[in-house]
Amino acid sequence: MDQPFEPECSFSERATLLTSSAIREILKVTERPDVISFAGGLPAPSGFPVEVVRAAFDKVLVSNGRAALQYGPTEGYAPLRAWVAEDLNRNGARVTPDQILIVSGSQQALDLLGKVLIDKDSKVMVETPSYLGALQSFSLYQPRYESVASDEGGLIPEALNESNAQDARFLYALPNFQNPTGRTLDRQRREALVLQAARLRLPVVEDDPYGELRYAGEPQPGLLALGGDCGAHVIRMGSFSKVLAPGLRLGYIAASRRLIDKLVQAKQATDLHTASLTQMAVYEIVKDGFLTQHLPTVRELYRKQCGYMLDALAREFPASVTWTRPEGGMFIWVTLPEGIDTTQLLQQAIEQKVAFVPGQPFYASASAPRNTLRLSFVTVPEDKIRSGVATLGRLIKAQLG
């Protein structure tokens, strides 16, 4: 039988820059049920409020079904935008509903910001290391990355100066339980960062998908809230993926009206608007304070999971290995002795049916260290955490001799 004719496509220059996520590629290998995977940054399904979500969709469809199934405004469902603004203001910000854009998940927020803020060879400042999904999204617009020094306390505000920030379009930062390191900026660094960015007239994209998942330490104010009059330089991203469920694909951007208006134009060309039904259902869930009842259970679950992994690391890893101790979120960052290549270690680990994410893809610089890795702990049962970490410990000790 003749093969069907497939016309030859000429890809755009931008399309040739597309690459697969290193994490997504690893997840393909770990789909087998016998593999212990610390690779995926997935929230724990046991924390999804399935019945509450079902009831909300039912209520919306029964009471306002035709509107929920119709096209909606690009900016988003007005009551949900108002709720987001009120929630941010309750935590110290000063925004109005018309400064909120509802998007189809944080990844769309990253893409839209890239579209409207980045030209080819524009300078974009990022943490060292940074969120892989952001690097992947921004890279499509061909920026020139400027890595900002970080240490165990996260991004170092003093590393921003007139020289490296000159002509930068923005700084991308995750102040709470950063992906991939789990580090959190303390209040002193947050204040210093906001003031320095304002002095340099440097916009800051504050990505905060994990901020509500704190299970240790003291809550810290967001960069947008700390900014005051300087807050005009802060663009905040938030998400319902980690507090409700990622399958809802719902997030938001809070920014100046000027930027929101331009983002709305970019979104109109992308998908017209975020799903009306989903927005209305999520508003139905959150409007009467459900998250204040729901999140303590999720935090306690994550606290226990993190504790299991920290205990296992202390028991199984050699003394020459160090790791972060997150106060929230989903990740632990591990640094091995120099000379151990975690990309090669991953291949050995997969043969032993254990997976993790090597650290190298999280760096914007080509000179990334090769001896780091990220572990995600929230979806793995306690016994498998202990077993998987023990396997990694044996492999690391074997390399050290």
User: What pLDDT digit, counting tens, does each position of 173-232 carry?
Assistant: 999 999 999 999 999 999 999 999 999 999 999 999 999 999 999 999 999 999 765 456
Q: What is the mean pLDDT of residues 10-27?
A: 73
Task: Write down the pLDDT at residue 32.
Answer: 76
Task: Write down the pLDDT at residue 230.
Answer: 41
pLDDT in tens, 54-93: 999 999 999 999 999 999 999 999 999 999 999 999 999 9
CATH topology of domain 50-288: Aspartate Aminotransferase; domain 2 (3.40.640)
Tell me whether residue 272 is exposed, middle or buried, using C-beta atoms within 10 angstroms of its C-beta: 0 to 12, 13 to 18, 19 or more: exposed
Q: What is the mean pLDDT of residues 279-308?
A: 97
Whole-Å CA distances, 217 to 184, 233, 394: 10, 27, 32
| Residue 18, pLDDT above cutoff 80 | no
Task: Write down the pLDDT at residue 4.
Answer: 63
Q: What is the mean pLDDT of residues 316-322?
A: 97
Whole-Å CA distances, 160 to 127, 132, 163, 212, 219: 11, 21, 8, 28, 25
Domain ranges in the chain with CATH number 3.90.1150.10: 14-43+292-400
Question: pLDDT category, 22, cuts 50, 70, 90?
Answer: low
Q: What is the mean pLDDT of residues 151-169?
A: 96
Question: How far is the C-alpha of 225 from the C-alpha of 239, rounded, in Å?
Answer: 17
Beta-strand pair 204-207/357-358? unpaired
Whole-Å CA distances, 50 to 244, 247, 274, 285, 346: 9, 11, 21, 11, 35
Given a contact cutoff of 8 angstroms between Cβ atoms, the answer to whether 324 and 181 are in contact is yes
Question: pLDDT category, 298, cuts 50, 70, 90?
Answer: very high
| Residue 361, pLDDT above cutoff 70 | yes
Question: How far is the C-alpha of 235 from the C-alpha of 51, rounded, in Å?
Answer: 34
Task: Write down the pLDDT at residue 365.
Answer: 86
Domain ranges in the chain with CATH number 3.40.640.10: 50-288
Question: How far is the C-alpha of 34 from the C-alpha of 32, rounded, in Å?
Answer: 5
The dotted CATH code for 14-43+292-400 is 3.90.1150.10
Place of tokens 């259970």: 297
Q: What is the DSSP letter of 210?
A: S
